[in-house]
Amino acid sequence: MKKSVEFIIEKLVLLSGIASIVFVILIFVFLLKEGLSLFGETNLFSFLFGKNWYPISDPPQFGILPLILGSLLVTLGAIVIAVPLGIAAAVYVAEVAPVWLRDILKSGIELLAAIPSIVLGFIGIVTLAPFLKNVFHLPSGLTALAGSIMLAFMALPTIVSIIEDAIVSVPKNYREGSLALGATRWQTIYRVILPAASSGILAAIMLGIGRVIGETMAVLMITGNAAVLPTSILQPVRTLTATIAAEMGEAVSGSGHYYSLFAIGIILFIFSFIINLLADFFLHRKRA
């Protein structure tokens, strides 16, 4: 009796373990099958580098270059904003803040991560967009910059907590060695501690990018949704994720449009995969 219970439990656990892998494989296979069907209608080159995204005109044009550039532009903007802010915040939390404030700040940062992205997007539409419109005298505040700022705030919790971990795990004796040579606290931080934590910082940036590039709802709401080649950060753009979210509902199943959205999914998958791989590489190097 006892033995059979053991057996059942063991197999159930095994099954659960395998299930997660099987699901990933199934999803990937489905994505590939649907996505690759597009290439009967168009070729890889005009898909990746075509400048026009008119999936339902006649004949349809499936160029996703504007979408890729839209995603890259918004992501790059977000990282440019989030990384310096994240490093500064992490340094403050880990090295400067008194203990009581440190705890409050850390919970605050975690709370920021807990805000649903749709709420951030909504707040962005009603506050950030009008603000940008007035500051830059734009016809509309719904631009790549608005998306970048919003996403920077979404990526910040990830970035801050990973960098903070990296800083805290820098051995105490580096700090002492530097201070004992007459270095000030700031000299110690930027000459010894940050270089010593550099792997963690790079990993944080990669994971931040991963978070940003996969984000959908807030971006869909706030970037203005114009699938044109972006020439400036003050223009409306559309990202890869937003395209899928906005058009999946109206794409006719089995049409070129439908397949092209899956093909976009493959591109996104490749992006995230590379970013995660890089993050893993940097985190691993830290331990080595």
Partner 1 sequence: MTNIIETDKLNLFYTAFQALIDVDLKIERNRITALIGPSGCGKSTLLRVFNRMNDLIEGVKVSGSVKFDGKEILDNEIDLITLRKRIGMVFQRPNPFPLSVFENVVYGLRIHGEKRRSVLEAAAEKSLASVLLFDELKDKLNMNALGLSLEQQQRLCIARLLSVTPDVLLMDEPCSALDPFATMKIEELMTLLKKQYTIVIVTHNMQQAARISDECGYMLLGELVEFGETKQIFTAPVNKKTEDYITGRFG
The contact set with partner 1 (CB under 8 A) reads 171, 173-174, 176-184, 187, 191-192, 195-196
Q: Which residue, chain included where needed, has tokens 């940008």? A: 132
Cβ-based nearer residue to partner 1, 120 or 166: 166
Q: Report residue 62 as tokens.
A: 């499936």
Kindly report the three-state secondary structure assignment for every residue of the chain. CHHHHHHHHHHHHHHHHHHHHHHHHHHHHHHHHHHHHHHHCCCHHHHHHCCCEECCCCCCEECCHHHHHHHHHHHHHHHHHHHHHHHHHHHHHHHHCCHHHHHHHHHHHHHHHHCCHHHHHHHHHHHHHHHHHHHHCCCCCCCHHHHHHHHHHHHHHHHHHHHHHHHHCCCHHHHHHHHHCCCCHHHHHHHHHHHHCHHHHHHHHHHHHHHHHHCCHHHHHHCECCCCCCCCCCCCECCHHHHHHHHCCCCCCCCHHHHHHHHHHHHHHHHHHHHHHHHHHHHHHHHC
Cβ-based nearer residue to partner 1, 203 or 268: 203
Cβ-based nearer residue to partner 1, 130 or 195: 195
Cβ-based nearer residue to partner 1, 126 or 288: 288
Cβ-based nearer residue to partner 1, 40 or 98: 98
Nearest Cα to Cα of residue 31 among 262, 264, 255, 242:
262
Cβ-based nearer residue to partner 1, 21 or 180: 180
Cβ-based nearer residue to partner 1, 108 or 177: 177
Q: Report residue 255 as tokens.
A: 């049409």
User: How far apart are CB 93 and partner 1 at their closest, in Å?
Assistant: 17
Contacts of 102 (CB under 8 A, 6+ apart): 93
